[in-house]
């Protein structure tokens, strides 16, 4: 009898929810995103809220990583799971809309203090879907044209000038098409903003109209000619590689990657950035919490910590050269001027405000990519 | 439990793995290729051929070319291992040729990306040796890079099979030909290769199918247009979340892969008849 009651006690103990919880954070993006959570945010969170642990799961770089998280949610929703196995997810802008539409997400932003510090429009609308309240931007990133001042003393100020320059200097402009990473995609979107016959604002804000997609023929024809005259690079890193080896003189890159490579010595310090008119797209990565997350409370605490001005300053701006996710003024206070100004050496805040565009809304985005596949061969 | 049941129970795990992880997904993706917004139709195939015909041709040409080059290289290496008379050279070659087999495709892609670039190691070596002027240097990071990667990675595998088959040949035929004055090259082409033709074909077909499925090499070396089918499949899924066209592309590559398997089956049936 005694043994039986011990066994029963053991079963009860095992079944009790353990107080020390494990928070699962799934993140899309390169290894640096996983490292950021494992080596920086995780330990800080574990110190702030003792007894809890953070487990980071990387789902892979680029859109593919976010797609995997979306599919994970799809599967758990289809299986009608009560508790999902992800507490916090970090996903690309493009995937937030579908997640909100499918009612996978928790509307948590008003529950946390740092929610009030968000100021940019891309936290309200994500490529045409209203996501207000469901997301907190982790950071904002931007694409721009990197160039080698030794070969290009006066960089082109606009897409028109850029196209002329590339024509005069065959194979000196390099980009990675649309299948090798988002910096190439972004360059193509900028091309359509500049030369597409329609209204770029409709592309960015909607609504989606089928006629609009017929206005790009001229732009794609010129892009096909332009591409014949350009060097195609293998991927986002490929463009920077070729630039650093002097094989190309100019190419579209992610601003944060550019600065990080420069800081590591992978790219000569002389290289510079320019944001040509009418502008190029950038995008935020968002923190989201699934509606059925097992540790909702803890998840909110985690995001509140990750979006606090101090962490945004130290982690996002100083460590990774990303533009902050929350309002810049709050972050600036936490940093010395030198670090802050480093972000804006080549691209001034005014340039960023005027020429930092969002990507087109999802249906236009897909239509442009498909039109590219059809015409640029 | 009867012996029969026990037998069934023993193969069940293996069978379940094959059914659930290979056959079921295959059927699902074949069905998915014909599904357009939950109705059945040819839409995905229309789009596939509209957008990717060039890539389909490109994939077939690249992989066929690689297969031919792998065949030639593996016969050359296997032939030297069998017929070579310099023991040290044979020993070194035997030790060296297998290495690429243990290197994953993605690493091959990474290595070649820095090796074949315009200012990469290969061109720099040529320039320093005075064989090339910097202005003439060109990047090999296009279809040529893919072919080089495939041949470099797959040759050892085929060589391993071919050299094994060559080693187990009856040496008397070779010696007889040599005694009658045939050159080594003639012995290789007329005596040795015909006898290992079946092994060579199997090796090349397995390589062909492997190359059909490699994603990392085209992604790292040339994910441009035209590119390999695998890069297009990945792009359909990752950028559009469009499994329909991705499935259709998968089915196209299945047809390509099974057409070479069919050649193999026919040949082996003929041999047995």
Residues of chain A neighbouring B240 (CB-CB closer than 8 A): 366, 369-370
Query: What is the spatial distance between Cα B174 and Cα A365, in angstroms, rounded to a whole number?
Result: 65
- Domain of A158, CATH number, reads 3.40.190.10
Portion 256-295 of A in contact with B at CB < 8 A: none
Distance CA B265, CA B269 (A): 6
Exposed e or buried b per residue across B193-212, where buried means at least 16 C-beta atoms within 10 angstroms of its C-beta: beebeebbbbbbbbbbbbbb
Q: Residue B37: what pLDDT?
A: 81
Query: Is the CB of residue A74 less than 8 Å away from at least one CB of chain B?
Result: no
The answer on B97 and B196 residing in a single domain is: yes
Nearest chain A alpha carbon to B229: A179
CA–CA distance from A315 to each of A24, A332, A340, B78 (Å)?
Answer: 20, 13, 13, 56
pTM metric for this prediction: 0.82
B45-88 pLDDT, tens digit per residue, is 999 999 999 999 999 999 999 999 999 999 999 999 998 888 99
Write the pLDDT tens digit of every residue in B153-211: 999 999 999 999 999 998 898 899 989 988 989 999 999 999 999 899 999 999 999 99
Q: Cβ–Cβ of B223/A177 closer than 8 Å?
A: yes
C-alpha distance from B52 to closest chain A C-alpha (Å): 8
Shared domain check, B131 and B56: yes
Q: Does B135 touch chain A (CB under 8 A)?
A: no
Same domain, B26 and B51: no
Start-to-end Cα distance in chain B: 41
- Is residue B38 situated within a structural domain? no
A171 shares its domain with A277: yes
> Who's near A190: CB < 8 A, 6+ residues apart?
A143, A159, A252, A276, A278, A279, A280, A281, A357
Number of domains comprising chain B: 2
Distance CA B187, CA B202 (A): 22
What pLDDT score was predicted for residue A237? 86
A40 with A117, same domain: the answer is: yes
Nearest to A179 among B114, B223, B241 (CB): B223
CA distance B99 to chain A (A): 26
Measured between alpha carbons, how far is A355 from B44 in angstroms, rounded to an integer? 38
Q: Which among B50, B117, B219 is the nearest to A245, CB-wise?
A: B117
Containing structural domain, residue A70: 2-140+283-344
Per-residue model confidence (pLDDT) at position A1: 45
Specify if B171 maps to a domain: yes
- Mark whether A276 and A296 lie in a shared domain: no
Q: Is residue B39 part of a domain?
A: no
User: Same structural domain for residues B217 and B91?
Assistant: yes
- B190 and B247 part of one domain: yes
Helix (H, G, I), strand (E, B) or coil at A23: strand
Of B220, B231, B239, nearest to A63 by CB-CB distance is B239
Closest residue on chain B to A372 (Cα): B51
CA distance A19 to chain B (A): 38
Show pLDDT as tens, one digit a residue, over chain A (377 residues). Answer: 455 555 555 554 454 444 568 999 999 987 888 889 999 999 999 999 999 999 999 998 888 899 999 999 999 999 999 999 999 999 999 899 999 999 999 999 999 999 988 888 888 888 888 999 999 999 998 999 999 999 999 999 999 999 999 999 999 999 998 987 889 999 999 999 999 888 888 999 878 888 888 899 999 999 999 999 999 888 888 899 899 988 899 999 999 889 889 888 999 999 999 999 899 999 999 999 999 999 999 999 999 999 999 999 988 988 888 888 888 888 888 888 888 888 888 888 888 888 889 999 989 999 999 999 988 87
ipTM surpasses cut 0.90 = no
Residues B4 and B109 in one domain: no
Give pLDDT, residue B251: 94
Determine contact: A122 vs chain B, CB below 8 A: no
Cβ contact A247–B119 (<8 Å): yes
CA distance B240 to chain A (A): 6
Query: Residues of B with CB below 8 A from A178's CB?
Result: 235, 239
Q: What is the CATH number of the domain that holds B78?
A: 1.10.3720.10
Find the CB nearest B113 among A178, A231, A234.
A234
Q: Are A184 and A177 in contact (CB under 8 A)?
A: yes
Write out the residue range of the structural domain in which residue B97 sits.
45-272
């Amino acid at each position: 009898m005694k043994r039986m009651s011990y066994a029963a006690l053991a079963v009860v103990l095992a079944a009790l929810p353990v107080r020390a919880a494990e928070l699962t954070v799934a993140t899309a993006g390169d290894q640096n995103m996983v490292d950021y959570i494992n080596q920086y945010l995780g330990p800080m969170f574990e110190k702030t809220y003792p007894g809890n642990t953070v487990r980071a799961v990387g789902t892979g770089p680029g859109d593919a990583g976010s797609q995997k998280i979306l599919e994970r949610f799809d599967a758990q929703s289809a299986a009608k799971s009560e508790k999902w196995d992800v507490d916090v997810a970090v996903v690309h802008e493009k995937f937030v809309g579908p997640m909100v539409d499918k009612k996978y997400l928790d509307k948590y932003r008003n529950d946390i203090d740092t929610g009030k510090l968000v100021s940019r429009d891309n936290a309200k609308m994500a490529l045409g879907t209203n996501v207000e309240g469901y997301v907190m931007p982790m950071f904002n990133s931007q694409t721009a044209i990197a160039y080698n001042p030794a070969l290009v003393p006066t960089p082109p100020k606009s897409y028109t000038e850029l196209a002329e320059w590339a024509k005069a200097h065959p194979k000196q402009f390099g980009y990675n098409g649309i299948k090798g990473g988002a910096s190439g995609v972004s360059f193509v979107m900028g091309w359509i903003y500049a030369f597409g016959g329609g209204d770029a604002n409709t592309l960015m804000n909607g609504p989606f109209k089928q006629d609009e997609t017929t206005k790009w023929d001229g732009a794609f024809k010129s892009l096909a000619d332009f591409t014949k005259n350009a060097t195609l690079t293998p991927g986002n890193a490929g463009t920077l590689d070729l630039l650093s080896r002097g094989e190309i003189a100019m190419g579209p890159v992610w601003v944060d990657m550019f600065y990080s490579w420069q800081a590591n010595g992978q790219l000569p310090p002389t290289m510079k950035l320019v944001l040509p008119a009418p502008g190029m797209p950038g995008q935020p990565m968002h923190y989201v919490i699934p509606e059925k997350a097992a540790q909702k409370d803890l998840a909110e605490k985690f995001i509140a910590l990750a979006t606090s001005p101090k962490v945004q300053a130290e982690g996002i701006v100083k460590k990774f050269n990303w533009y902050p996710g929350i309002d810049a003024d709050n972050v600036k206070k936490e940093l010395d001027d030198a670090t802050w100004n480093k972000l804006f050496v080549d691209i001034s805040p005014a340039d960023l405000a005027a020429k930092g565009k969002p990507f087109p809304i999802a249906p236009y985005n897909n239509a442009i990519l498909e039109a590219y596949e059809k015409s640029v061969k | 439990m009867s012996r029969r049941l026990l037998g069934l129970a023993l193969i069940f795990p293996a069978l379940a793995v094959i059914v659930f992880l290979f056959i079921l997904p295959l059927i699902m993706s074949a069905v998915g290729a014909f599904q357009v917004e939950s109705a059945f139709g040819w839409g995905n195939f229309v789009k596939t051929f509209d957008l990717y015909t060039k890539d389909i041709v490109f994939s077939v040409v690249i992989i066929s070319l690689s297969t031919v080059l792998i065949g030639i290289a593996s016969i050359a290496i296997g032939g030297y291992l069998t017929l070579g008379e310099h023991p040290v050279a044979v020993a070194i070659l035997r030790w060296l040729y297998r290495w690429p087999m243990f290197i994953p495709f993605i690493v091959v892609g990474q290595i070649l990306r820095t090796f074949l670039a315009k200012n990469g190691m290969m061109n720099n070596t040529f320039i320093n040796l005075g064989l090339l002027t910097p202005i003439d240097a060109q990047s090999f990071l296009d279809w040529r890079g893919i072919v080089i990667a495939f041949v470099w990675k797959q040759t050892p595998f085929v060589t391993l099979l071919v050299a094994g088959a060559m080693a187990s040949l009856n040496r008397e035929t070779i010696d007889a030909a040599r005694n009658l004055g045939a050159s080594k090259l003639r012995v290789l082409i007329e005596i040795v290769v015909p006898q290992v033709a079946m092994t060579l074909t199997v090796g090349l077909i397995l390589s062909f199918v492997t190359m059909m499925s490699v994603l990392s090499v085209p992604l790292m070396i040339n994910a441009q247009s035209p590119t390999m089918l695998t890069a297009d499949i990945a792009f359909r899924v990752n950028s559009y979340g469009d499994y329909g066209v991705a499935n259709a592309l998968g089915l196209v590559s299945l047809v390509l892969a099974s057409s070479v398997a069919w050649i193999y089956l026919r040949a082996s049936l003929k041999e047995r008849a």
